[in-house]
Structure 1
Amino acid sequence: MSNSQILKLFVLQSLFTLLCLPRLGFCAETDTITRNLVLKDPDTISSRDNVFKLGFFSPDNATKNRYLGVFYSVSESTVIWVANRDKPIPGSSGSITISRDGNIVLTNGESEIVWSSNVTTSSVNASAQLLSTGNLVLLDKSSRRTLWESFEHPSNTFLPHLRLVHNINTGNKVVLSSWKTPTDPEVGNFSVGLQALNIPQIYTWNGNRPHWRSGPWNGQILIGVQDMYSVYNDEFTVGNDLPGTYYFTAPEGKFLMRFTLNSAGSLVQTLWNDKIKHWDETWSAPQQECDVYGTCGPFGSCNALSSPICSCLSGFEPKNSEEWGRGNWAGGCIRRKPLLCDRNNNTSSGGKEDGFLRLRFMKVPDFAEQGPSRTVEECRSLCSLNCSCIAYAHDTYIGCMFWSQELIDIQQFSDVGVDLYIRLASSELDGHKDKMLIIIIPIVAGLVAILICIFIYRWLMARRKGAKGKVDAKLYEAGQTYPSDSAEVVLQDDMDKVNLEEMPLFTFETLAIATDQFHDDNMLGKGGFGPVYKGKLADGQEIAVKRLSAASGQGMEEFLNEVDVISKLQHRNLVKLLGCCVEKEEKILVYEYMPNKSLDVLLFDPSHPSQKILDWKKRFSIVEDFGMARIFGGHQDQANTGRVVGTYGYMAPEYAMEGRFSEKSDVYSFGVLLLEIVSGKKNTNFYNHEWSLSLLGCAWKLWNEDNGSAFIDETIYKVEFQGEMVRCIHIALLCVQEFPNNRPTISTILAMLSREIVNLPVPEQPVFAEKWNRSHVTSSQMGVSINNVTLTTLGGR
């Protein structure tokens, strides 16, 4: 390069620098502010993945007040954090930089400090960075230590990775606080945070008064939120990584999600829908009057489906009948008859012991105290021995909950919740029993008549068929035999719904003994519908016991469906159902125990010794067996369900999104399984960072580029089988096409696998080909999901 060219280049660079410096102080895109860089209104910086921006905004176009905040790139009006909430800057004269003492400072046109991070132990070598989580952090550049972060001083928005904190030793909390009005970011009347005393709960407060309460956290869900029983678990977490300090947080998901505490006191969950450029509301609390804290006062119960919504608990009456009749329920209720404990304390007189009345499907009262016991019977015993205990409840994961103060903020749910047992005088319970007898006697009489008719009918049918056995349900007996393994599938499409009399019934006592009272040491795993335990029967046979949890949302319909399908399907590649238990309000399934674990372990666990011997021939044999296993009834062409159950990643799109299922839904699941067997990768855990693709998308990309061999599991790849392996990928891609009509039938798939059909049609791109990846998303791409399908909240198994 000549001297003249060098001189021209120098002049151009200098001119470019001079043009840029007066306005912004820097020209390159950045997520960091340093002492040498000043951010002036209206300039912004963006997080590395361009999801969030830091800059100035006006919440109301009618005013010129300006605030410094963090907002979404796709929706700049959606502000998640505000610095100068109570001190707006008039006009666009604001600027932000790092001060000499190492703090983030916001100044106005007169160079007055409007807001500062105000860290006393700051560093002169500090910088501010906007992270991909939306968190603005002040860092010591030398040690990379975080000196301050906006997530510890949130505004009105809860995001993944932000922590609501409660230090029970000091009382310090990290809470959200509402805006004063929808257009005024000043701190409003409402706040939301974690209350970790006793059992952790989430509260919304109106000033210092509770406004809404989530109910206790049981390690899985917040048991006072009805939607959590049936909706998928958002994987919220309550933890305590420091002594006495508890936090509530949510991990980063696939969608832009936020919880906002609005100025009216509602906590609202929304998801960004990029198709219509709008935030879709998916949940809020409180949703109705019964959700408002203490609507019915002490010892009152609220039921949104009743009129009036408030009623006194059994054994209680309104404290002020006149006010109660006018719909003013705040005074609550008082006990009608004193407890024996109270009478003994006052007069030492005898009498019948107090008892407990069971209330089903309840949001438990506030101020629960956790006890050490694990069973309902132990909870009852402990509460009975303590006169100050006026109620108890039991949750599988929490254990015992006790109440000794007034019962407040009780709600009656429709079909979920916890059984609450309240202490009543024996006379109240006797009266309750008399009322129940009036209802129960006619019902029992009717049931007895029906049972007699059924017995006579079955007896006549048994005589007609020459049956010698009794029609009573068979209990498990040692030495009972079961059908042996078979390479064929036994499935009768025309069978009626499963009859529990057709299969062994285990007693609850038998299974409790076999699993050592369902001891944690025997737990094999825990799924969305409850834990699975290893057990051993009296004859030495090992079993796997699946104990369905009440919190799972799985009712008798789903229970019978699983019994129905698996009991009719005898297949060497499917675990066999040995029996079930339906006593003591338990729903338990008993399977054969698999010492070598399941196919997914053999495929996806590289440390398992059997993985090395699961070569392609064995895998292809498994494929043909599964191809024969048609679980969907042949007489069912199309059906709809309001209750979607299944494993995410294997459900066909029309089933997952709309509840429509058919034989082609099973074809989709088979296609996913086939891709997993070929690749040795699990669909629900697979993610290609380079291409931002799911397992289906990766298979499509490589096959479409005529590079299907790169998709094959390296441990089984052999040149002589390459054509057959790539053909299986081709067949799988035909199975996972978006529209059911484009997928082949099971019989066609078998013909393709056996090469009775040689030429295969060209598949379309799978609907779930891509996965959300922030590094590939720009401000024009962000969406609820890459394919813009309708987001439906469903419960997966």
Structure 2
Amino acid sequence: MAPNSAIHRRIAESVSENRLSWSSELSCLCIGSDTISTGQSLFPNQTIISKQGKFELGFFAPGNSSNHYVGIWYKNISVRTVVWVGNRNYFIRSSNYNNSRLEMSNGNLYLYVDLERIGISSVEASNATEAVILDTGNLVLRNASAIIWQSFDHPTDTWLPGGQLGFRRFSDTESQLVSWRNPDDPATGVYSFGMDPNGGSELFITANDTRRLWRSGVWQGGTFTSLSDGVNFYNFTYVSTGDTVYLTYNVYDESLLTRIQIDYFGRLIHYVWLEGSQAWNIYRVQPSDACKSYAMCGPNAICDINSSPICGCLNGFVPRFMQTWDSLDFSGGCVRRRPLECSEERTGYITVNNIRLPANSESLEIRRDGVCEIVCLVNCSCNGYSYDSRGGCLLFMGDLVDLERLSNGSAGGNLYVRMESLDSAVTRPGNGNRNVLALAIALPLAAAILISCFCLCYLWPKLKTKESRESHQNLLLLDLNSNGPAHNKRASVGNNGEEKSNQYELPIFSFSSIAMSTNNFSIANKLGEGGFGPVYKGELLNGQFVAVKRLSRRSGQGLEEFRNETELIAKLQHRNLVGILGCCIENDEKILVYEYMPNKSLDFFLFEPTKKEILDWSRRVHIIEGIAQGLLYLHHYSRLRIVHRDLKASNILLDGEMNPKISDFGMARIFGGNDSQANTKRIVGTYGYMSPEYAMEGLFSVKSDVFAFGVLMLEIISGKKNTGFYGSDYLSLLGYVSADFNLYPI
């Protein structure tokens, strides 16, 4: 909704009025402080309030839901507006609400629900001594000298003034907004809003982590094209340091309450609180019209909401799918009327004024317009450039995507599209106010800089990795029945089920062959998805199958877990451990290739009412024995002593003969020969299978796996989930067994 004079008058009037204090209908015993210190707990009937009374932290139930969460909301407005949720993907049932508490201990903030502990903050070796709610709406963990953790780095669906959206280079750390599922459920939704961690300063609305719906426009001249149309309340700041890139903003009028939210419909909404009407006013919505939708007209086309049709090609381009001039089809965008030759003598530029610049730009620290033009000219991949005296030079490689004609007064840019000089509208470099001498000086200098950068950034990595790329194997040619160099898992089986093989070199497959085997990672080939990302079924040329595990960029597992799994499982050879066939680390991809398990995972049969009858007693005993043999090998007979740390039904895969195989070693840890116990601040795994000393203190050993095996064995025998007892007299299957040894019938 575009701002207008009436809205601004209402805002101005609301600022001068006194703010009303919200009196909650629920009785609330407040601590009267803004701090939870070490050893202190916050219970459901308590809250903490920022010093000036602007924000409040406590337990709440969203909408019409009976489930409860820990969150932050505005204190002094009549409409409860939650801006942050600490446990969005783990709700507290009403039956457990009174047995919950938020506690500051061991340098972190934990939510306790009965006997379970959920980390609100997760910082290894944290020495924070207190949790404080600030008047900005930011929850911080700090000690006397520094802030250790802050909620502004882990937002939910709301971006408050002072908050940061961005990412850390060379890591999986990313700060972005993710929508609620619906008004009653704050769990992670479909839509997200944040920066592209692959580079650039733009913000995107994305669906399902892949499909772009809207973008802010490039950062140029200290603003965003699509965030600054008309009057703007905000002052945005773009920061790029050595390994951190982020965007933040503040409000010019600090007396206004404003927030930016990604809602469960995929809209980015800017709200301003109107005290007079006691309501949130929608100041702006993105996308606001059809032309604001990402790539509405396809590549090399420009969208103009005031034209009919709204799509049109750039000068020198024609529709890709053109039937007749009376019936133009812009679904495929536009292509050049004549191919562009890589010739400086026959190349110039066409100027397109006041537009939203294309996506996927490359920024250069060049402060002279003429040099920017020449750098694009000598690069055959450059299709256009833009220059701003404050923002520097932007180069556009490949198709020009998501162009929009902006109205007068909007913060648009000028795009110079590279064209054949045969067109009369094309200007040649050197025309205008640049003289021949300046061009003669700038051209060799720019060429030298470009050649140096090309050699350093392109040729050297290519030469460096040429040998390794040539050694990448073709997954499609893999033969699972051979002992050739591409396969290291079919060896003789010795005592204790160990497979004898001297070859532990893990094959590296090419990404193209993996993509072909999975039909380009099609939905039809998808076997399932976990916290790491999706798993696909791959078919080889000989008709055999493999399982392809593709780690998602936003996965909870990252480079450490990937390296851990490839190094560990490649050296583990046992018939009750899933076999790894190879990996791929090409194009920033992290992919593992496993032997294919046609019967999926144990939980598929164990807890599915229509499948559990397949598991008769003999099969269940066989599965229990196989898991025990695999654990015995990991703990005592393998070359390395391994603690799995995430043993559960979904990590037990079944082959065609229902033989169990332990999988997913991303969380596993190696013990030295004389070590028997270790401690970690990073508690990973699945609650319900964790031993008490690991869940509470971070202490783990082979006994941790034995505890999880005991829980798993009870699940196999009873056919019941350990955590499937909510609402009953027992907290878990373990609690039921402890009270009564008569197990449920299968």
- TM-score if structure 1 supplies the norm length? 0.46
Structure with more helix by fraction? 1
Which fold has the larger relative contact order, with Cα–Cα distance below 8 Å and residues 6 or more apart in sequence? Answer: 1
Max radius of gyration: which structure? Answer: 1
Structure with more strand by fraction? 2
